[in-house]
Every structure is written in structure tokens, then in C-alpha cells.
Amino acid sequence: MGGRQDAVRVSAYNKRFVLTTSSDRSDAPDMAMTPELFQSRFMRAVRGEPVDTTPVWIMRQAGRYMPEYMAVRSKVTFMDLCKRPELAAEVTLTAQSVLGVDAAILFADLLPILEPMGLDLEYQQGEGPVIHNPLRDAREIDRIQAVPSVNDLGYVFEAVKLIRAQLPKDIPLLGFGGCPFTLASYAIEGGGSKNYTHTKRMMYSHPTEWKLLMERLVDSLVRYLIAQIEAGVQAVQVFDSWVGCLCPEDYRQYVLPYTKSLISQVEPHAPVISFLTGNPALLKDQITAGGQVIGVDWRSDLAEVRQLVGASKALQGNLDPVTLFGDWSLVEQRTRQILKAGRGGGHIFNLGHGVLPETSVDMVKQLVKLVHDCGPQH
């Protein structure tokens, strides 16, 4: 495609995805899409356009399985790593470079947004995130307020700027956030849970307070994700990591309206990847909630998902992360099956969830090379 025609398409794209600077971030730059990013393998797949080969990135691609990550992590706490922009940038850039993936994803975490909302968050060694003042009493709902200013999360946006300035010009940077249900569950449970008893009790017994909590989370997340876009990310992924505990009826009543509201408010600014894990029965409702790209975990047959959405949306996924502990012949077989299943529309190869800490870096590199070597999958 000629340069003049590229410029016209990029201009139209930038008019569609309008960056409206947040009132409390008057210094936010207008990070318009460049021609190199617009024509990148990843962004073409997002739009469902032909690509030379399927793009690939890996959830948690900057993580404990990488020696380079562990070298940085050994010197600081996890929260320090998240809150020091130069370190978050370093591990983000290293993962993209080492693996040769088609997109970088901002190194951050889902939960720090809960701190300015009034929750006491700590990452305990060997225990993961713990909230010391969980919302267990519906009468205390006003203790949890929408984020008063996204400036409270300024370290995230500073990391975005540092990463974008150093990434190759044709490699998009992805931002992300948690979906309202997953963040509400953390806020109520106070940490991990098997049955989400406290969350469901609040949801069922106190619908008015549940609605207020979800609305405050949506308001906070919309501002947070748009601020990431303003700082320089090209797309965002929203994670509903815990919503698989719900049946479809509960999802439609208590979750769908809020996730749909979140995505609909962010999508005018940049493409949204909607990722849900743990329950294939929610797939149709996940699609209803929106997103230009539907992220699929390994529990669903990608060919069936393609039949369901047709070419109207791009798909992302969906190799089981544990497959990478098997023989290479199995990894190759499953990867080729997924690439074939993704045909008929935009497809971004990924794992069905995050890469596991014990995974071999060489196996991940080999996987990325295989996807690229397989060529076009239209």
C-alpha cells in the first residue's frame, strides 16, 4: 500500500479513536497512531485485515520464568517493581525483545487501582495480594469511592511513556485493567477464593450496594484505561479472571451491564481485547459485552468460537499454558490446530492464560518462532 493511501487510512483511524485528555491530566499528550503502528502485524489482525503471518504475544510474557525478569525482581518487592516506571519499562521491553513477539504489554498489576479507592493492599511473600480492609459489610459501601484522580496512578502512565519511547516503531504497546467483577471480588474477598462466598452473598443479598460498587469500579477503570491510551498504548486488554465462578444467568444480571459499559466507553479511544477465563458457558455473553478482539482461554474450541463470531471480531488465543511442559511434537501439533481454527478473520495467537513460572524460556521462544514460520492463515 502506498504511503499516501496509508496516511489517509491512519488519519481516518485517528479520527475514529479520539483521545480526549482527562481533565485531571492536562499534560497528557495526543498519542495518535503512527503509520508504522497502524500497519503493524498486530494492529492489522485486530482490524481483521490480511497479515504476512499470525501475530503472537504471551500473557505474562514478562514473568518469573525469565532470568532477566528475576534479576530485576530479586532487588525489589513486587509493588516496587510495579511502581518504579524505569523498572516496569525494563522488564516490559526485555520480554518483547527476548521473545520476538508482535506486541509488548505494560508490566503492571490489576489491583493497585484499588488503593486510591480506599483499600489497603499488600503483596505478601508466597501469599500473593492481600487486602487488609475488605468490604464485607454492605453498609460500608461508601468506604469505597471512585478513583479521585488518575494522577494517583501516575507511575503507570510514566512507565507507558518510557516503554513507548524505546519500543520498535512497528511494535504496539498494550495496556490493561481488571474487569469490574474481578476487582469487586478482590475488594470483597480480600484475596484469593475458591467459592467467592462473600462476593456472591453481597451480589445476591445487597443488589443496591452491589450496583454502586460496580458503577464506581467502572468509572475508575474507564478513566484509568483512557489515561493509559493517552500516555501511549495502542490497545487495551480487560481481564475477567475470576468471573468463571458464575453461571450465565448471574453473569447477565450482575456483571454484563457493567462490563459492557466499561468496554463501550473505552472503545472510542482504542481497540479493546476482552478476556474471560474459567467458564466456556459465558462465551456468548462475553461477546455481547463487547470488544474488538475476543480473548479465549484453552477450555473453548477456537474453531467453534470462530463459527460463532464469524469475521466480525478478531480472536485471541488459546493454547493451554501447560502444553509447554509437553514434548515439542505436541506443542507443534496443538499450535497448528489453533492457527487453522483461527482462520476466517483476525487472529492473534496467545496462550489461554498466563505463561507459568516453571516454563522453559526456550520453549516459549520456539513457540513464537513456530507461529511466525507458519505464515498466513487466511
pTM of this structure: 0.92
Question: Which cell is 35 given?
Answer: 503509520
Question: Which cell is 353 given?
Answer: 492464560
Q: Are the CB atoms for 219 and 146 separated by under 8 Å?
A: yes
Looking at 47, 64, 84, 299, which residue is catalytic? 64
Q: For residue range 289-321, list pLDDT tens digits in order.
A: 999 999 999 999 999 999 999 999 999 999 999
User: CA dihedral in degrees (306, 309, 313, 314; nearest 10)?
Assistant: -10
Residue 342: the pLDDT is: 96
Rama region for 290: left / alpha / beta (φ>0; ψ in -120 to 50; rest): left
60 is catalytic: yes
Residue 377: the pLDDT is: 73
64 is catalytic: yes
Residue 125: the pLDDT is: 76
Query: Distance between CA atoms of 175 and 350, rounded to whole angstroms?
Result: 16
Looking at 25, 60, 164, 216, which residue is catalytic? 60
47 is catalytic: no
Looking at 25, 65, 69, 109, which residue is catalytic? 109
25 is catalytic: no
Half-sphere exposure of 5 (CA within 13 A, CB side): 3
Looking at 41, 69, 164, 186, which residue is catalytic? 186
Residue 21: the pLDDT is: 38
Residues facing 215 on adjacent strands: none
Q: Does domain 27-373 have CATH number 3.30.470.10?
A: no
Residue 54: the pLDDT is: 98
- Segments of the chain scoring below 70 in pLDDT: 1-32, 126-127, 378
User: Dihedral sign, CA of 100, 346, 294, 262?
Assistant: positive
73 is catalytic: yes
Looking at 41, 73, 164, 223, which residue is catalytic? 73
Backbone angles phi, psi at 273, to 5 degrees: -100, 120
